[in-house]
Every structure is written in structure tokens, then in C-alpha cells.
Structure 1
């Protein structure tokens, strides 16, 4: 069989504009559907697929992402070549930013000039009382161990609030500072080398003593950082303080002046009455270090964080160091991705949530958007919501008052499909076509100022947080669900395909996102998106019992020897799969009962079988081992295989569809049902 590569498929997609939604030619003849459905559907594909040197994995998501980025690349090249086509602020900024990233000669010529003002301010830190002002300046560039952001108040989503977050760690996970296994030792050694290379390339002290002091400093921060699984508790992350209260809880740092200066813009005088702190223990540790850590360590640390944040936009000495650590060591990449692909990703981010992410979506939609897909997706959302309504009504363990509140939340849920009705105007943002690193800092500063100007003002619920070009979907904080144009394509959605294929593909994605608002975290928010308890104590306890079974189920899977799925970290995603799949399946049954609907076999498979085949195909993937290990350690998503076999094994409909006998691996002896 011909070897499959992501680049070859991307080129094919770019030429044809579509792929077959349900490819049945590659099903296994050696593995039974009742033994391992993922292997039955995807095993032959996985055995033949080759992960390109510049990718960490290959699969349905990656193939469509590359196809979308090929559309973007062609459109951006055209915009750069023909400035007259840059008819909106978003298109103009996208073209300028992209051109700056593609001009590698200009990047080399610029050197560290974009960072020079910030580096000089760091070098000027000679008095401890100047640290808050320096962190304000670096915070505007989104650099440092703490940072301020403005978003909807979790307990009153009508208005924006100020949040204090934390970060500033260079290893992939806070646990890596304390683990002693082979993977952690490899990561630590690579990180030390990375630190040395960045500082040395910048002409800063980079000896072993400097690196050791920086690692000791970061370890102190890591000690006070919550493990990832604990970040799933929204109430634990909601800790309002006045500046005076924060100063008492975290002494050693001038919080009052920091908060006043950081929130000051040309439109507001600065200062707040209240800041919501995500991790008070971290704030306390940070303040201790602000008061006690030698200033030379602070200077080295802040230089490191600035260089790390910008390294992939800097000359080769920095970019190569960044790739060797963040891509080769952590993810296993053997070569850098094509330049255009890397630049598009750097501008928009994986989900298009970076400051100019929506500009990429605007470019994409101008070339590739299907109103028919938007219309069909709207019908799918309606069907899946109706199926969810029936599931809630039939729950044997939930009381009527809680069911009523759940139904009200479902009714209030708002879908965002395809693309925004209005694009941002990016007022005040100016970029330069020959200053890639400078553009990163300009967009960061612009975004930070925009956020501060929105502090205490009403929330814009129409704003999109995910760009339309992205192959993904999301469940947002306002009891909303988002399905970008980028995912409304084969193999997830095909306007020409039968209902079974679409309900098993994008229908399951819809069920998954709806369920996120009822998963272990989402269930704690009400119908308008406020963090508020609407459960009776008995119902909450019954839910937790079912959730704990999901934790145990997934925690038993070991995709890589010695690396099991973290059932607690991945709980929200796993609940949304275990509950979302049967909801989407029931939505298909509703569609098949409509007048004129056809339930005939196609290619020898019933609609029910095609539903499961379609779902398994969207999760096909082949990983580099390093990338898979990193996902298991740091990501809230289970690997694709387990997003197929675990939910399907809980469904009696699956066993019935494929006539699986009791005791088969794909038939759970005591099925888990959450919703």
C-alpha cells in the first residue's frame, strides 16, 4: 500500500477542495469490530501512515488543518502581492504580519532590535522597589511569572473583571521539576541547554551557576503552582481580593502600585477595587521571591522569559534553540515545518485565539466558506440538543428540580457556527512588514491595552475566541458552543454524505461540545454562564459517583509503557465523549425517522454502523512517541484511540449494530452512563 503523508494529502485537498467523508477501503480484515473497533477501522491506515519529519502526529485533524493552511497560504501570498486586495483592517494586518514572518533576511538583519528597549529596562533593574514597574512593562508584552488579564467575571458574566494569573515555567509541566524518571531527566537536561543557548546568544551571562540559579528559582515557583488536574475546579480558581487584602495575603511585593500602573491606559486612570486571583499560594510565593531573590537572578530570569517568548521570531541562533527544545525534544519533530505553516501558526495560535488570530479567519473565510455547511450544521445542532433534552428527561438518578435547571441551561445554549457576523477593526494597531519579532510585541501590547480598556465594562458576548480557519470546536464560557468553518468539511462534515456519516462526525463533535457544559467543570455554571451551584446535594453526589467511574475507566489505559492516561486531568473531555456519543447517535435516530429519510444500507453497512465508522475515522492518528508522552503528561484530551473504544464500549447500540456477543472487549460488562 502507498505510504500516506500529511503534505501529500494537503496538496491533494488544495487541488480537489474535498475528500471522501467515509473511506471504507482500508478496514482491517484481521481485527474484529467487537475486539477493537479503532484497530478495525484505522489499524491498516496507522500501519502505513508516515508522520512527516516536521509534524508531531498525522491524522484526520492534522490533514484538514494542513489543507486549511494551504488555502490560507495561497490567500496570504495573494494579499501580499496585491495590496489593493487588503480592503479591511484585518486583511491588511494579516498580510503585513505574514510578510514579516516570511522575510527571514529581515529577521536576521534586525537581530534583537525589537527586544532592545525591554532588555535595557531589565538591565536597569538595580533597586528592588523598581521590580513592580518593570513587571508592569513586561506584562504588557505578556512576559513574566505573573500576568493580568480581563475577561468576564465568572460569577457575573455581564461585566468584565481583572484576573491575576501565573506562569513563568520553562519545563512542559510543573511536575517535571520534581520527577526523576527518564523522560523528566531528558527534559531537564534539554531545558538547561536551551537556557544556556538563549542567554549566550543574547550576550547575557550563561554559565552553569547562572543556569542553576534560574532552575532553582523556577523550582520555587513550580512548588507553589497547582497541578494541572486541580485547575479543573473553577471555584478553587475564583479568589477575589482587594489590593489591600492581596498585600496582606502575599506580602513582599507592592501590589497596589503594580495593579494601578498595569491597569492604566489612555482611557482609564488605573487602579482597581478588586482582582480575582487564580492561585493565591503562587501569588504568595511570587511575592516572597520578589522580596528575597537576588536582583541578578531576577534580571537573568526576566531576560530568559523574554527571549523564550520571542525566540521563534528571532534570528537563527535563537529560533534553532527554540526548535531543538520545544519541538524536537518535547514533541519529537525531526525537521522544522515549512516556513509559511510556521508563520501562520505563530500569528494565530493552535485555536486562533492569539490577538490577530481572527485576521487569519477573515482571510480563510474570504476564500473557503460554505453557507450550506452552516445551514446543515445548524440543523445538526438542533437535533443533538433535542436528543440531549430527551436524555436529561430520562435520567433515573436526577431529581426533577435539577432536571428543570438542566433543561433551562440547554435551552439557553447559544451556537456560533461558521464565522463571526462582524470582524474586529483592530483600532490603534500598526505593524511593520520587516519586523516579525516587533510585531509580536506590538500585538501583545495592543491586546493588553484593549483588555484594560474593557475592564469593568459590559461583556461583548458576540466576540469569537476561536478563529474560523481552525479545525476544532469549543464550549465557551457564556453557555455557548462554537463550530468554526474550518471543521465543517470532510471528514467531519460533508454536505453530499448520508446523515449517518455527518452525525457520526460533526454530530458527535456537537454532542461533545454540548456535554462540556454539563461535564465535571461545566456543570458548575448556570444557564447564562455564571459560576453558580444549581444542583441538589444528592444529585451532585450521584453525578460525582458516575464521574469517578469515568476517571477509573480512562486511568486504566496505558498508551505508552509507563505512561497511563490521567483520568482526573482528562475527565471533562472523557465525560463529553462518553455522553456526547450516545446523544449524537440518538440524534441520528431522530433524523432517520423524518419523512423521506432513508435507512438503507450503503456499501453494505447500516446507518448505525456508518455512524460508528465515521466517528472512528475522525479520530485516526499516528503520533511520535515524544508527542504522545507529552500529551499524556500535559493535555486534557485522551489520545484518539481511547476516544473511540471507551465511549463505544459503553453503548449497547454499538454492540447491537455489530452483533457483538457479551464478553467482547467492545461490550462493557457494566456500562457507564453519565447523561
Structure 2
């Protein structure tokens, strides 16, 4: 048996050497005291959870995290080599990411730079004379990726994805969730106290006033913003956040701020004068509140708020006084970390994030793919996706509650779904970007400004359906807004996927992930989009009602789980992810059956049938141990349910699971009335 730290080491070796891990399943670690029919997660993972300590520099440890660490280690070594051997920087992306990484690793240079990288922004805020300056300052911040308190971005119009449009939406709160400004709970009080201290440390370290009166005014201002902020669960309704307007209409609906000046300054470039005729306003009520606050809030309070957003945005890349304050608030208070992660991991995360979409994320992917993705992995992954899509097709065809005309549209959408596997075929050239190996915080702003410029160019172009928005090194997958599914090279590694492993292990691991992402396009939100990803109701009224009834049962099931006593899962916030698990696992299981019929390899391995190994593999994928503070934050703010319940809920509602492990009616892992969405 081997704990996850050894899985990480094995995965790291696999990535570097192109070999598979020591063993596909942690069979020796299964619990002898727990029946698989009582609690399958504890049967597979209980002994590991009991003996595993979460390291001081981690909020969580588990299969996802072990692979992420392995990928980061590989990237860290490769980036260090790029920095030390400039002759290896053979593409624009490799040159830029080498400079960015070097700047993050040079902590002496960070100290020497001080506040110089953010000084122009801070000076611009200090130079404000009245509220009339706000539109220009907000736009200037937006152009370097600081959404305070409004964020603007370019993406395909969700009702016509063939064209790009500017969307503006709510942003700019310092606490993790809007409710933290109002709730009287111990955690909310703790967070408010910690946030005030964080604000005080950042502002005073930068030489700005941070008196109790200043902080009181700041908190009152942000509370006003929070009051107008749409709750997270409601943001999942695509119709609620789709409010097309002209600029004059926005100025009428949200009077008090010169939105035309803001939009012109935000979207100007060398090629266009700026401004837009039509935009999407995600939260009109929030825009009205911002405009109202523009006129009635003292300028000094606006300046305090904007300075804090600038400092917060760059704090982890600024000198130690700022980075320490950021870690104490975000790391220690919010997620329970004791110490920071190794510096090279921190820098990689600060460059590329954890979900993709960062300006230099694809450059990191270029580094990663050169070391860790084989043609054989691409071939096997493509075959897996084909099998899972075929299983979903059969599921749709066999639905008894869906009318034929709706099935036709569902099958059209499935057929049109575009998979993206491993990595893009070409890499960005980063024209116009010039990063400095001695200026970490400045590089963040330069990269953000470059990315904003690229987005503004998209306003004059049709949507690009070939573009990757997810970095290939990320340990995750994605159901994109253009009816696409993306599986980066980063997750196409053991223990999720091993080109040398038996089908049961791969279909229980990455096969389930594939099923999950396919179903996202048919979950309670995704089902509202058509075959090209446009928001377009293709459901009959009765089919929609039938679907909603099934979705409501999923909500009730997950809200019956309390990962922490007194804190249940938010069934509405997590509904899309939960539906994708509840339907994705059966689809992946069906795909395995098709693969077994094709290969004829149905023999037992290590005493387990292929069907049993499918479920064992999936339970191991969700193995994790999380700090309580991080788990609380997840339950309050994250649309994903904790790993244990991503095992228990889908499997207990699958008759195939009960059959595989000879479970009987009345066992905890056998639902009396199984939920079947698809």
C-alpha cells in the first residue's frame, strides 16, 4: 500500500519518464472494517484518510492535489532550466514565461522594486479631484485586470455565439462571499475582523491612512456593494445574467456615472476609438448601485477602496510586508494554511492560476506538454471520449420521459459537441508583450494589459471556436460555452488516466470526468444552450418540467449531507456539478461495457471484476483530506461538492453499483428510489 505522497512521487516519475505509476489501484489500503455497501468512500479511502496528515503548506491533499503538485514540480524544473539556458527559449511563449518565472523567483528584486510597479495606478487614484474622474480610473484599472467594482470582458454573445460582445458584471468585494458582510455567524465575524486587519496592513504598508474611521467607511461602502450583489446560486441562471443594452440604456437604468466615458476608456485601442453600441449587463441592479455610490460616497472613501483593490491584486507579488499580509488573510484565515507552499509552486500558481485562462497559462502549457504528453495518450483519450459520447447518445435515445422532438435536438447538440484534447496545435505568439525578469508585480500588470488588448481586438472579430481558454498543465477539465469539452494534458495522467492501465481503471477515472463534462452541457444550466452553445430554449414544456422535477430531487439529496455538522451542502449552488456527477458516472459505466464488449477483456484483476475496478478507481480519484477552514469556505462559496459525496451520491443511486458489490435493499449504498436524470 502507498499513501498519496507516494502517488505524487510516482506520478511525477511517470510524467518525467513516460511510465505508469507503481500500481493503478491502492488495493492494499482498503478498509477491512467497512463494507462497500455501507460506505464505499470509507471502504476505499478510510484507512488512507485516518493515517494522512495534511501538510502545513496545503489546504487539502488527495488525488487531484497530488497530480497538481507533480505537474508543478515538473513545470518548476523545466522553467528553471529555461531560465538558466536561454538557448532553450525557442518560441515567444517560452521567452515570456521564462522572464515571468525568473521575476517571481527573484525575491531580492521584488524587495528592491517596492511599490514601483503599482505606483502609476496609485498615483492616478490619488490625483482624482471628484466623482467625475471615476469612469476613467475604473477603466484604467479594468485594463490591467482589476475589476473594482465592475468587471468588463469580451466573450461570445450567449444568445448568438457566432459574435463577440462586451459583458460587464459585479465584482470588487474583499470578503469571500456577499453574505459575509451581513451574517452574524462566528465565521462571518472572524472573516470581517481578518479583512479589516488585512486592509489596514496593506494600506499602512503603502503609506496610506488606515485609521478606524477610514476602515469603518471602507466596510460600510463594501457592504453597500454586497447588498446589491447577486448571490452565487442565482448567478447560475443564464437568463438572469443576460441583459443586453445600448450604452444610453445603461446610463438611463444606472444614472449617476458616465458609463459612456467608462466604456470608451475601457475599450479604446490603437485600432478603435473606444466605446460600444451594445453590451451585456450581467447585473443591472449592481450597476445602478455603483452609479448611485459614485455620487453620494465621499471621494476619500472611493480612493481608499480603489487603493486597496490595487494593492490586493498585486499583494502576493509585492515585497514581504504585502505578501505576508495576503497570506495571513487568504492562506491562514480563509483556508487554514499554516505555511506557504514552496516558492516555485507559488510562482507557477501566480502566473497561471488553477483553472486556466490566465494570460501566460498557455505558455506554461507549452512548457508542460513538451515534457509530459505522448501521442499514445492522445489516441487513448480520443477513443475514451468517443465511447462516452456514444453511451450518452444511447441514454438520450432510451429516455422514457422525453418527447421525440426534444430528443432530436439533444442528439444534435451531442453530435456537434467539440472535444479538445491535450493541448492546442499552435501556441500564442504574444505579439507586443515584453516581460521583465526583475519585475514580478509589473509583469502581472503587463500581462493583464496585453490580455485586455487581445480581448478588445475580439470585439471586431467573430468567435474563434478553435481557441483554447484552458492551460494544458491544469489538473481539471472544462465544458466550454461554445458546446465544447476540454481535457488538458495535465489531467490525462495517472491516477486519472494511464495509457498502460486496464480499461476499467481509465473509465472509472478519466472516463467519469469525460462523462461529467459532457453532462455539463445537459445539466440544469447547460441544457438551456443549443448545438452551437447559444442560449436557446429547445425543450418542450412537459420535458422541461420533467427535468426540473429530477433536478429538484438532486438538490434535496445533496442538501441532506452535512460534511461539517450544522453545515450542509448548498444543493442549488452545486446543482450543475452534482447533476454532472449523478449522470456522468452511469454514462462512463455504460461506455466501459461497450469497451469490454469490443476487447473481450472481462477477467478479474487482483480479485476484482472490471465493474468493481471501475467504481474503485472512481472512489480513489475523489480521495482527499481537507482542512476544516478550507472545507467551510468550499461549502459556502464553491459550486463543487466535497469529494466524499461525489462518490456516495452517484454510486448509491446506481443499480449497477449494487450489482457489482452484491449490495442489498436497505444497505446505505442502495437508494430506495434511485434518482436518474439522464
The TM tier, using the shorter chain, reads over 0.9
SS in 2 for 1:165: strand
Q: Which consecutive residues of structure 2, in runs of 5 or more, have no partner in the other structure?
A: none
Are 1:376 and 2:383 counterparts?
no
1:258-310 CA-to-partner distances (Å, cap 9, x unmatched) read 11121110011112111100000000000000111000000100000000000
Counterpart selection for 1:549 from 536, 546, 553: 553
CA deviations on 1:535-583 (whole Å, 9 max, x unpaired) are 0111001100000000000011000012110000000000000000000
Q: Distance in 1 between matches of 2:59 and 2:416?
A: 39
Match of 1:590 in 2: 594
Answering whether residue 254 of structure 2 is matched by residue 247 of structure 1, we say: no
Structure 2 matches for 1:155-234, cutoff 5 A?
155-234=159-238
**Deviation at 1:456?**
3.6
Aligned equivalents of 1:454 and 1:268: distance in 2? 12
One of 102, 107, 115 as aligned partner of 1:104: 107
Distance 1:5 1:99 in 2: 30
Question: Secondary structure at the residue paired with 1:115?
Answer: helix
Q: Deviations over 1:317-365 (max 9, x none)?
A: 0000000000110000000110000000000010221111111000001
Corresponding position: 1:581 with 2:585: yes
- Alpha-carbon shift at residue 530 of structure 1 (Å): 0.5
Give the match for residue 270 of structure 1. Answer: 274
Alpha-carbon deviation of 1:22?
1.4
1:530 aligns with 2:534: yes
1:483 corresponds, among 481, 487, 506, to 487
Match of 1:14 in 2: 12
1:145 matched to 2:149? The reply is yes
Q: Does residue 70 of structure 2 align to residue 72 of structure 1?
A: no
Distance in 1 (alpha carbons) for counterparts of 2:392 and 2:155: 29
Distance 1:454 1:654 in 2: 48
Segment drifting more, 9-18 vs 366-375: 9-18
| 457-466 or 294-303, larger mean C-alpha shift | 457-466
The CA deviation string for residues 585-620 of structure 1, in whole angstroms up to 9 with x for no partner, is: 0111111111x4210111111111000000000000
Which of 422, 427, 447 lines up with 2:426 in the alignment? 422
Structure 2 partner of 1:463: 467
Q: Distance in 2 between matches of 1:40 and 1:456?
A: 56
Which of 631, 634, 647 is equivalent to 2:634? Answer: 631
Q: CA separation in 1, counterparts of 2:7 and 2:96? A: 30
SS in 1 for 2:372: coil
Q: What does the per-residue CA deviation read over 1:234-259, in whole Å, with 9 as the maximum and x for residues that have no partner?
A: 01100011111111100000011111
Give the distance between the partners of 1:456 and 1:33, measured in 2 at CA: 57
1:513 aligned to 2:545?
A: no
Q: Which SS does the other structure have where 1:481 is aligned?
A: strand
CA contact (8 A) 2:11 2:493 kept: no
Alignment of 1:17-56 (within 5 A): 17=15, 18-19=20-21, 20-56=23-59
Q: CA RMSD in A?
A: 1.1
**1:670 corresponds to 2:673:** yes
For residues 609-633 of structure 1, the C-alpha deviation after alignment (integer angstroms, 9 at most, x for no partner) is 0000000000000000000000000
Q: Does structure 1 retain, via aligned residues, the 8 Å contact 2:11–2:495? A: no
1:21–1:493 contact (8 Å) kept in structure 2: no
From 649, 653, 656, the equivalent of 1:653 is 656
The answer as to 2:312 corresponding to 1:285 is: no
- Following TM superposition, by how much is the alpha carbon of 1:383 offset from its aligned partner in structure 2, in angstroms? 0.5
Equivalent residue number for residue 389 of structure 1: 393
Structure 2: distance between partners of 1:16 and 1:155 = 44
Partners of 1:380 and 1:580 lie apart in 2 by 13
Comparing 19-28 with 87-96, which one deviates more in the overlay?
19-28
How far 1:15 sits from its partner (Å)? Answer: 3.7
**TM-aligned CA distance change 1:557 to 1:674, over 3 Å:** same
Alignment correspondent of 1:361: 365
SS at match of 2:29: coil
The number of aligned residues is 672
Q: What secondary structure is seen at the aligned counterpart in 1 of 2:474?
A: coil
Please give the alpha-carbon distance, in whole angstroms, between the structure 2 residues aligned to 1:631 and 1:648.
22
Shift of residue 44 of structure 1?
0.5
Deviation at 1:5, TM superposition (A): 6.4
**1:303 has 2:307 as partner:** yes
Residue 544 of structure 2 is matched in structure 1 by 540
Q: Deviations over 1:62-119 (max 9, x none)?
A: 0000101111011101000000100001100110000000000000010000111111
Where does the alignment leave 5 or more consecutive residues of structure 1 unmatched?
Answer: none
Instruction: Give per-residue Cα distances to partners, 1:398-448, cap 9 Å, x unaligned.
Output: 000000100000000010000000111111011000000000111111111
In structure 2, the CA distance between the partners of 1:148 and 1:42, relative to structure 1 (3 Å rule), is same
Per-residue deviation, residues 155-211 of structure 1 (Å, max 9, x unmatched) = 111111010122110000011111111111111111111010000100000011111
Rounded to whole Å, the distance in 2 between the matches of 1:598 and 1:11 is 30
Aligned residues of 1:10 and 1:66 also touching (Cα < 8 A):
yes
Cα distance between partner residues in 2 of 1:117 and 1:499: 56
Check whether the contact 1:5–1:52 (CA below 8 A) recurs between aligned residues.
no
Provide the rounded CA distance (Å) in 2 between the counterparts of 1:163 and 1:15.
44
Match of 2:506 among 502, 508, 511: 502
